[in-house]
Amino acid sequence: MATRVIPVDPFDLVVFGGTGDLARRKILPALYRRFCAGQIPKEANIIGAARTDFDEAGYRAFVRDAITELVPAVLCAGDAIAAFCNRVHYIKLDAREDDGWETLAQIINPDRIRAFYFSVRPELFADLAERLYRHGMASGETRIVVEKPFGHDLASACELNATLAHHFDETQIYRIDHYLGKETVQNLMAIRFANMLFEPLWNSQYVDHIQITVAETVGIAGRAEYYDRAGAMRDMMQNHMMQLLCLIAMEPPAKFEPGAVRDEKLKVIRALDDVAPEDIVRGQYDASSDKLGYLDDVGNANSTTESFIALKTGISNWRWAGTPFYLRTGKRLKARTSEIAVVFKDAPHSIFGADAGRHANILTIVLQPNEGIELGVTIKEPGPGGMRLIDVPLDMSFAETLGPEAELVPDAYERLIMDVIRGNQTLFMRGDEVEAAWRWTDPIIAQWQEKGEKPLRYESGSPGPEDALGLMYRDGRHWREIRE
Ligand code: BG6
């Protein structure tokens, strides 16, 4: 399956925090892969900016090492890395000091697209915005890319939006949520809006419930300071999970373009029900035989931050009133798996009698690790012995469909960075969307903070606290198993 690549216009991209973990693991490899795909023109410049004392050769060696470690070997043959590194430059800068900024302003070409990627601590976003403006780099074809966390609560998100709006127009601001760049997440929209099959059934009349799981096996080691202030609610629920929920629940936008898509997502967030205390389960992972527990990972024996959260909510609109949405996410769980399951209602009447059991169709969109789509259908068990029913999957695994090219499917960051250069904001969050998401999140967090509630403990390698299972059992439903 050949992939179609449309080269973007020449650009200058400055990565603030260019020596940081995100730049190393995601941004630079993503740029390299787009370069190999022929999408990045040879005149483009990628400029790492950070406080580290690198010269250009030193930074290029850093970039080369990152690519060699993180990009499939098949893409690293010949002189591709050297050619890419020729496009890479470095400038030593501090967001809070004047040195270096004039030099940056001089090397940036004012006549082409300029993108500034804020891959730094959020406390520095305002300083970066201010300095870009002061040094004449905020106008024209300038775009800024802002990494999460976008605020810590509604007040801080509003403040950040206001600060950025001071120097940049909303059309220049790209708030990144890398979940929106995942291939299967985009496929979710294709499934919904390019097929006639599902849309007529996509409502509370036919859908019993929807469950979204993002389970991780990793802990929080290495990011303790950030994570202990955030917890699963802020780190995953307010952004990634919320975006998935929006895409699964939104009305069809009239066009696949930024305004239309983001308007529809915003309506979903605004229609989200408040979450009652009994509909939330928070957990913290315990130590396992070979790994530390959460409290040791953060080095804070009194931490009440959750590394797991499960909750039930609803959407009060004509399409979804009466259909519960169950969401859960956590660290150190049994397996790394992210999926959205749309569980349809049982057939209204079984002509095969009670013995045939109850069977519900389930459409599962697997985001990772084995990206694909599965539709569970009920069929007759083959062979003699009467009419016995079984559920079988109609399965579309991307890896199987694409074969060896699956490895070359663009990573979320590849798609999103190219969208920044192309000036397409469809897969980025608008300011009002982020604020609406915090408006829903804040009271939920306030509930447990007011009560000083502690999270429940759960075993590392388990599906999370037992009570999370209860959240669905008590409604006569159950979570899908967390498995590879
Ligand atoms: C990040 C969170 O935004 O997403 C991390 O801060 C989380 O805690 C990560 O591990 C998950 O991303 P992915 O693409 O690995 O599912």
Domain boundaries, the chain: 11-147, 180-236+272-409+454-473
What CA–CA distance (Å, rounded) separates 116 from 301?
39
Supply the pLDDT for residue 425.
97
Q: Token pair for residue 263?
A: 């308007």
With 90 as the cut, is the pLDDT of residue 397 above it? no
Distances (CA, A) of 39 to 30, 35, 199, 410, 421: 12, 6, 35, 12, 11
What is the per-residue pLDDT for 419?
A: 97
With contact defined as beta carbons under 8 Å apart, do 243 and 177 qualify?
A: yes
What fold characterizes domain 11-147? Rossmann fold (3.40.50)
470: Cβ contacts below 8 Å, ≥ 6 apart? 281
Annotated catalytic residue within 240, 349, 359, 478: 240
Nearest Cα neighbor of 239 from 275, 265, 263, 257 is 265
**Does the beta carbon of 177 lie inside 6 Å of ligand 1?**
no
Name the residue among 139, 137, 142, 145 with its Cα closest to residue 114: 142
- Tell me the pTM: 0.94
Query: Is 235 touching ligand 1 by the criterion CB < 6 Å?
Result: yes
**Bridge partners of residue 326, in order along the sequence:** 211, 312
* Nearest CA residue ID for atom 4, ligand 1: 236
Mutate to test the pocket of ligand 1, among 178, 233, 294, 415 (most ligand atoms within 8 A of CB): 178
Give the mean pLDDT of 287-292.
91
Question: Is 183 touching ligand 1 by the criterion CB < 6 Å?
Answer: no
Residue with CA nearest ligand 1 atom 2: 235
Tokens, residue 185 = 């997440």
Closest CA to 66 of 25, 13, 33, 21: 25
CA nearest neighbour of 125 among 171, 90, 85, 156: 156
Specify the residue with its C-alpha closest to ligand 1, atom 14. 179
What confidence category does residue 407 fall into, taking pLDDT thresholds of 50, 70 and 90? low
Give the Å distance between the CA of 413 and the centre of ligand 1: 13
**What's the mean pLDDT in 104-131?**
95
Query: How far is 99 from 107, CA to CA, in rounded Å?
Result: 14
Ligand 1 centroid–CA 177 distance in Å is 10
Mutate which of 119, 217, 236 for ligand 1? The one with the most ligand atoms within 8 Å of its CB, which is 236
Alpha-carbon dihedral angle through residues 78, 79, 82, 87, given to the nearest 10 degrees: -120
pLDDT (0 to 100) of residue 364: 95
Please write the tens of the pLDDT for every residue from 321-371. Answer: 999 999 999 999 999 999 999 999 998 888 888 777 778 899 999 998 888
| pLDDT value at residue 282 | 98
Instruction: Place 320 in a pLDDT band, splitting at 50, 70 and 90.
Output: very high
Ligand 1 geometric centre to CA of 62 (Å) = 23
167 catalytic? Reply is no
Does position 283 have pLDDT exceeding 90, yes or no? yes
The angle, 0 to 180 degrees and rounded to 10, between the axes of the packed helices 412-422 and 183-193 is 70
In this predicted model, what pLDDT tens digit does every residue of 175-218 receive, in sequence order? 999 999 998 888 899 999 999 999 999 999 999 999 999 999 99
CA distance 384 to 241: 45
Q: How confident is the model over 8-22, as a mean pLDDT?
A: 96
Architecture of the 180-236+272-409+454-473 domain: 2-Layer Sandwich (3.30)
Q: Give the contacts of 109 (CB within 8 A, at least 6 positions apart).
A: 12, 45
Name the pLDDT band for 406 (thresholds 50, 70, 90).
Answer: low
**What is the pLDDT confidence band of residue 226, given thresholds at 50, 70 and 90?**
very high
